[in-house]
């Protein structure tokens, strides 16, 4: 999977749409970046921009946005309701998929260095990127705002992490960092009473409520030895919550910010509100997500609700997302469209044509056409995905078999693993065709001068090696289906043993076919060391495949007989 990081710069302009458009145009000028949301506010005079991309592209896009904001926004004239200290007030990076905190911190540091050195704007690092723990809180850094920073920056303790220790009158200063993904999430209640919603909010939020001697909100406060009120913590960590009445909906809500969705995921917040509401005679009727969220939130929620139903978790991502939407009532107030609300799905929806989005007839028609792609490599990966899918199907059927309830968790785990394998091999269906297209593009490079010929040769060699490595990855992924299929042949639902056999044949076909694609791409390589290494790996996987196939085939035939 590609690395994906989100960046959410806040610019101190929310009224002049021309200025906002020029900033977002600068961000979008970077290849590989997807602009997801632009949210201007007139009263706050502030625009929150959300975009995603691979780390290097995201840093470049953020730099261009900050550069353009410094050109167009004059902080000497800027006024608004929201606290601010610069033309680009804050710019956090948030990991979305396949990105570590080290990656996100490196993005913040790289961007901060460029902004400080090239744009001469003072930069402070915050949250997980903070060099000084005392500066991790954005509110602490921004205290005094633009007007107060002319003197504040002169204090040694407030020397910027990057850039000059002189406050820029026009651009101000910028705070750059790496933080957790924040999900704004509201849970709907069957009441119009703000006070009752607030009580549920106090039950679930981390800060909880102040203890009273009689346990009522109006009772005498319990004090500690220092005379400070004692707080009774709420049910959830990393959750801020209030209760409010929404005139538009005619109902009260518990409005929450989930600041660490790994430790307190979406479904945990929903379940806590259900529990707290029920204790007060209320009922949760649905919920809403404000803004966007990572796919993981809904996939994890779908698995949670399957566990509550004592059912196998080995469902597809599409099924899990649909179950999460229905279970949490995300459609109650307005349609919840995954392709608009889920970051990864919105990016995929805007991407180029994908083979795996075709129906079966379209895929076969495209394969049968006179275009050389998709070819054998993509078809081999599809065979592997079908093999893993059949193994997962048998696991799901076994998990749901009457009388096998004590083995639900075991078979569910196998089905979940099969889903992961299927998804990986489906991704490689498209990746194999993309690799072939890179080879064709390399051959199309100019070759008029010696320099062009050398560049073309290098590009062809690189593309051929990549085109060999992709089907090799297919072989390695498909090889992981054999243990799964063997387990199903031994322990799975006996009525589905023929499905195991078909999955076995598809898996071997995938490995054999992908191996042929590795070898044909190796024939164009001049690097004998690489050719030898990759060729040897093909032979090793093929030998493992044959041994596993023979062993499991005997088991299948024996059980059928």
Alpha-carbon distance of 39 to 30, in angstroms, equals 20
- The pair of three-digit structure tokens given for residue 455, joined into one six-digit string: 């560049």
User: Which of the following is catalytic: 16, 37, 74, 82?
Assistant: 82
Give, for 74, the enclosing helix (H) or strand (E): none
Question: HEC profile for 75-102?
Answer: CCCCCCCCCCCECEEEEEEEEEECCCHH
SS3 181: coil
Check residue 290 and report its DSSP letter. Answer: E
Which residues, listed in sequence order, are joined to residue 187 by a DSSP beta bridge?
254, 287
User: Which of the following is catalytic: 89, 161, 300, 432?
Assistant: 432
Which residues, listed in sequence order, are joined to residue 189 by a DSSP beta bridge?
284
Alpha-carbon distance of 479 to 507, in angstroms, equals 8
Alpha-carbon distance of 252 to 249, in angstroms, equals 8
SS3 489: helix
Q: Which residues of 294-328 are buried (b: 16+ CB within 10 A; e: fewer)?
A: bbbbbbbbbbbbbeeeebbbbbebeebbebbbebb
DSSP for 97-155? Answer: ES--HHHHHHHHHHHHHHHHHHS---EEEEETT-SSGGG-SHHHHHTTHHHHHHHHTTS
Contact 136, 180 (CB under 8 A): no
Give helix 528-560 / helix 481-491 axis angle, nearest 10°. 10
Q: Is 432 designated active site?
A: yes
Could you tell me how many residues make up the chain? Answer: 561
Alpha-carbon distance of 257 to 237, in angstroms, equals 11
Contact 417, 388 (CB under 8 A): no
Q: Is 267 designated active site?
A: no
- What are the residues whose beta carbons fall under 8 Å from the beta carbon of 445, sequence distance 6 or more? 452, 455, 456, 459
Beta pairing, strands 46-53 & 4-7: antiparallel
SS3 168: strand
DSSP for 191-251? Answer: ---HHHHHHHHHHHSTT-EE-BTTSSTTSPBPB-TTSPBPEE--S-SSEEEEEEEETTTTE
- The pair of three-digit structure tokens given for residue 329, joined into one six-digit string: 């009532």
Contact 65, 21 (CB under 8 A): no
**What are the catalytic residues?**
82, 432
């Amino acid at each position: 999977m590609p690395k994906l990081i989100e960046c959410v710069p806040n610019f101190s302009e929310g009224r002049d749409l021309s200025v906002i458009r020029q900033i977002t145009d600068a961000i979008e000028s970077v290849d590989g970046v997807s602009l997801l949301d632009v949210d201007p506010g007139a009263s706050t005079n502030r625009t929150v921009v959300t975009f995603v991309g691979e780390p290097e592209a995201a840093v470049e896009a953020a730099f261009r946005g900050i550069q353009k904001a410094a050109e167009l926004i004059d902080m000497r004239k800027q006024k608004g309701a929201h606290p601010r200290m610069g033309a680009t007030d804050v710019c956090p990076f948030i990991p979305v998929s396949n990105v570590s905190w080290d990656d996100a911190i490196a993005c913040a540091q790289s961007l901060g260095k460029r902004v400080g050195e090239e744009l001469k704007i003072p930069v402070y690092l915050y949250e997980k990127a903070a060099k000084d723990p005392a500066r991790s809180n954005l509110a602490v850094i921004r205290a005094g705002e633009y007007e107060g920073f002319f003197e504040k920056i002169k204090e040694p303790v407030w020397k910027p992490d990057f850039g000059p220790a002189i406050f820029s009158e026009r651009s101000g200063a910028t705070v750059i960092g790496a933080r957790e993904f924040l999900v704004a999430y509201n849970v709907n209640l069957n009441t119009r009473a703000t006070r009752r919603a607030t009580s549920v909010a106090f039950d679930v939020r981390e800060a909880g409520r102040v203890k009273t001697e009689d346990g009522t909100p109006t009772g005498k406060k319990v004090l500690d030895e220092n005379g400070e009120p004692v707080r009774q913590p709420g049910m959830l960590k990393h959750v801020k919550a209030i209760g409010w009445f929404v005139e538009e909906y005619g109902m009260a809500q518990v409005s929450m910010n989930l600041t660490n969705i790994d430790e307190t995921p979406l479904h945990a917040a929903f379940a806590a509100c259900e529990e707290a509401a029920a204790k007060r005679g209320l009922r949760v009727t649905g919920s809403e997500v404000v803004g966007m969220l990572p796919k993981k939130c809904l996939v994890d929620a779908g698995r949670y609700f399957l566990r509550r139903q004592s059912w196998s978790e080995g469902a597809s991502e599409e099924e899990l997302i649909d179950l999460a939407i229905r279970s949490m009532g995300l459609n109650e107030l307005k349609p919840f469209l995954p392709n608009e609300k889920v970051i990864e799905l919105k990016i995929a929806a805007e991407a180029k044509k994908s083979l795996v989005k075709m129906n079966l007839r379209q895929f076969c028609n495209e394969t049968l056409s006179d275009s050389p792609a998709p070819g054998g490599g993509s078809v081999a990966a599809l065979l592997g995905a079908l093999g893993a899918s059949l193994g997962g199907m048998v696991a799901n059927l076994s998990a749901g078999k009457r009388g096998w309830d004590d083995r639900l968790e075991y078979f569910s785990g196998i089905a979940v693993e099969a889903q992961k394998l299927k998804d990986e091999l489906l991704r490689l269906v498209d990746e194999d065709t993309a690799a072939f297209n890179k080879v064709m593009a390399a051959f199309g490079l100019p070759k008029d001068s010696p320099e062009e010929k050398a560049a073309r040769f290098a590009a062809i060699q690189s593309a051929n090696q990549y085109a060999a490595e992709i089907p090799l990855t297919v072989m390695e992924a498909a090889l992981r289906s054999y243990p799964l299929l063997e387990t199903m042949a031994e322990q799975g639902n006996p009525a589905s043993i023929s499905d195991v056999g078909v999955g076995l044949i598809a898996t071997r076909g995938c490995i054999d076919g992908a191996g042929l694609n590795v070898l044909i791409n190796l024939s164009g390589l001049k690097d004998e060391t690489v050719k030898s290494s990759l060729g040897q790996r093909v032979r090793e996987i093929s030998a493992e495949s044959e041994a596993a196939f023979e062993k499991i085939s005997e088991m299948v035939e024996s059980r059928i007989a």
